[in-house]
């Protein structure tokens, strides 16, 4: 296929050249009605590029197939049979994927180290989750993806499961054995869904961990805004084989998705695909070189502990994304939250994520040498400043096995079940009470419970 083509961007250029006058949405009319103070901040191009697909980039029948052409090019670029664009982020895409494989009351194997969108998808769909627990590293206090044997055991215990949802890479850069899990699923005749939100870059360089399509997954969801170069909410479904019906996936996506798809998402997805096909190997190769320099520099800083390939082992991770830097700051006597807040306030360096133990930073093809140097300098300053920070008591985390709780009802039933509100034991009498209970009358127990009370069986 001709990957110099960018059908969405070409359609936008044609729209501008025709000089169409629009008497429909968006109401800002390509920026003419936008507040000049807003335009001054975001630029005229943002509003000028915000055009409807129907009666804008394409006609009402979508006879030009503008988006379809772009999706076909994306599928070809990443070696998938089919690709669909989603403008509601991978949070919606994951829900759609779940509903495309399992329905209400049906079982689905799911990695327990799941994103909140997965939990939401289980609730919305009414699926019965069979949790496949990750391998918890007690020294690092983080979870690595489950292994094929874990999935095999779960499949043997639940032969009626409709498929498996695997999360990889994790937030901290550790990767699963996708090929091994795919073999287990296919031996049982069910599909493997991979939530690869952090892996949009993986198809475009051979030194990166295996990409889900190449490793045999049936349906892969990527967030191109995380490690790619598309705007926020840019997500893509990738399919191969015949275990997931593309028409069913599209139907489920239509059920959950917006009818006002963003042309800004479409055009940046289209442009990123062209960039990666034409330049991706060189751009990511340069990023990997910078990553190696950054890794050496962090290893040379006394105090923080950088997670490396020592975690790649049986019972640990199958692989590690070299562009992800997970740094344990506990040796400095501070938490990851403190470190992240200090880096932002003192150095204007915003890290990717943080928890009680660590911080994480990610490089993409967009980072240059100056940005890498700035991160190195900020980490050195953090080490110098740590002794003056308030030292907090260590977090006493429960034993990993104690977190593997038994599910006694569907998450959907629990979410919509009746609840009782119980005052937190340390709350002072008469102090305001914050409620997180659902607001629908059928989903709460009134009057609110005061003092201690025996919770209902559905709490």
pLDDT at position 367, please? Answer: 97
pLDDT at position 456, please? Answer: 37
pLDDT at residue 122 above 80? Answer: yes
The greatest distance separating any two alpha carbons of the chain, rounded to the nearest whole angstrom, comes to: 70
pLDDT at position 392, please? Answer: 79
What lies within 8 Å, CB to CB, of 334 at 6+ separation is 342, 386, 389, 391, 392
pTM given for the model: 0.88
Residue range 129-135: mean pLDDT, rounded: 94
pLDDT digit string (tens) for 232-273? 999 999 999 999 999 999 999 988 888 888 999 999 999 999
pLDDT at position 6, please? Answer: 96
Percent of the chain's residues with pLDDT above 70: 93
What lies within 8 Å, CB to CB, of 382 at 6+ separation is 304, 329, 332, 339, 342, 343, 347
- Give the separation between CA 271 and CA 58, rounded to whole angstroms: 18
pLDDT at position 436, please? Answer: 46
Q: Which helix (DSSP H) or strand (DSSP E) does residue 86 occupy?
A: strand 82-86
Distance of CA 390 to the CA centre of its chain: 33
3-state secondary structure of 148: helix
208: phi then psi, degrees, rounded to nearest 5: -95, 160
Which band of pLDDT confidence, cut at 50, 70 and 90, is reported for residue 448? Answer: very low
Closest C-alpha to 78, from 231, 196, 163: 196
192: phi then psi, degrees, rounded to nearest 5: -110, 120
- Give the separation between CA 183 and CA 192, rounded to whole angstroms: 9
Q: What is the mean pLDDT of the chain?
A: 90
pLDDT at position 88, please? Answer: 85
Structure token pair of residue 132: 């496949």
- Angle between the N-to-C axes of helices 66-77 and 263-299, in degrees from 0 to 180, rounded to the nearest 10: 30
pLDDT at position 430, please? Answer: 52
pLDDT at residue 102 above 90? Answer: yes
pLDDT digit string (tens) for 19-65? 999 989 999 999 999 999 999 999 999 999 999 998 899 988 889 99
pLDDT at residue 175 above 70? Answer: yes
pLDDT at residue 447 above 80? Answer: no
- Give the separation between CA 151 and CA 429, rounded to whole angstroms: 49
17: phi then psi, degrees, rounded to nearest 5: -65, -35
pLDDT at position 394, please? Answer: 75
Which band of pLDDT confidence, cut at 50, 70 and 90, is reported for residue 198? Answer: very high
Distances (CA, A) of 156 to 153, 192, 277, 314: 5, 16, 41, 21
Domains and CATH numbers, the chain: 8-64 (no CATH), 65-276 (3.40.640.10), 278-388 (3.90.1150.10), 417-459 (no CATH)
Which band of pLDDT confidence, cut at 50, 70 and 90, is reported for residue 457? Answer: very low
- Give the separation between CA 191 and CA 244, rounded to whole angstroms: 7
With contact defined as beta carbons under 8 Å apart, do 451 and 429 qualify? no
Distance of CA 451 to the CA centre of its chain: 40
- Give the separation between CA 116 and CA 411, rounded to whole angstroms: 13
């Amino acid at each position: 296929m001709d990957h110099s083509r960018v059908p969405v961007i070409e359609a936008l250029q044609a729209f501008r050249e025709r000089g169409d006058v629009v008497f429909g949405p968006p109401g800002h009319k390509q920026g003419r009605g936008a507040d000049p103070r807003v335009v001054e901040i975001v630029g005229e191009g943002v509003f000028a590029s915000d055009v409807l697909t129907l009666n804008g980039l394409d006609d009402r029948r979508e006879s030009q197939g503008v988006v379809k052409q772009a999706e076909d090019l994306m599928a070809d670029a990443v070696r998938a049979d089919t690709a669909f664009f989603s403008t509601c982020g991978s949070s919606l895409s994951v829900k759609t994927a779940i509903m495309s494989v399992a329905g209400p009351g049906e079982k689905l194997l799911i990695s327990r180290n799941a994103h909140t969108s997965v939990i939401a998808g289980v609730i919305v769909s009414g699926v019965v989750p069979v949790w496949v627990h990750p391998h918890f590293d007690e020294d690092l206090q983080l979870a690595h993806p489950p292994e094929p044997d874990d999935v095999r055991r779960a499949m043997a215990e639940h032969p009626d499961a409709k498929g498996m949802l695997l999360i990889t890479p994790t937030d901290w850069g550790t990767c699963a054995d996708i090929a091994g899990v795919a073999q287990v699923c296919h031996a049982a005749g069910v599909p493997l869904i991979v939530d690869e939100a952090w892996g949009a870059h993986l198809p475009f360089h051979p030194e990166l961990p295996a990409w889900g399509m190449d490793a045999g997954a049936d349906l892969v969801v990527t967030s191109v805004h995380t490690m790619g170069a598309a705007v926020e909410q840019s997500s893509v479904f990738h399919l191969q084989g015949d275990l997931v019906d593309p028409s069913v996936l599209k139907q489920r996506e239509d059920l959950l998705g917006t009818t006002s798809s963003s042309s800004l998402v479409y055009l940046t997805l289209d442009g990123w695909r062209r960039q990666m096909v034409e330049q991706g190997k060189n751009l990511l190769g340069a990023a990997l070189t910078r990553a190696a320099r950054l890794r050496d520099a962090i290893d040379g800083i006394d105090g923080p502990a950088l997670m490396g390939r020592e975690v790649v082992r049986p019972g640990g991770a199958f692989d590690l994304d070299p562009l992800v830097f997970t740094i344990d700051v506990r040796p400095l006597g501070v938490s990851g939250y403190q470190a992240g807040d200090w880096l932002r306030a003192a150095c204007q360096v915003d890290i990717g994520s943080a928890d009680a133990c660590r911080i994480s930073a990610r490089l993409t093809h967009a980072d240059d040498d100056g940005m890498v140097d700035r991160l190195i300098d900020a980490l050195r300053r953090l080490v110098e400043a740590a002794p003056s920070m308030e030292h907090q008591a260590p977090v006493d985390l429960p034993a990993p096995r104690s977190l593997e709780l038994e599910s006694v009802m569907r998450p959907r039933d629990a979410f919509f079940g009746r609840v009782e509100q119980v005052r937190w034991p340390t709350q002072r009498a008469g102090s305001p009470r914050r409620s997180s209970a659902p607001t629908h009358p059928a989903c709460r127990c009134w009057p609110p419970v005061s003092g201690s009370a025996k919770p209902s069986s559905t709490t």
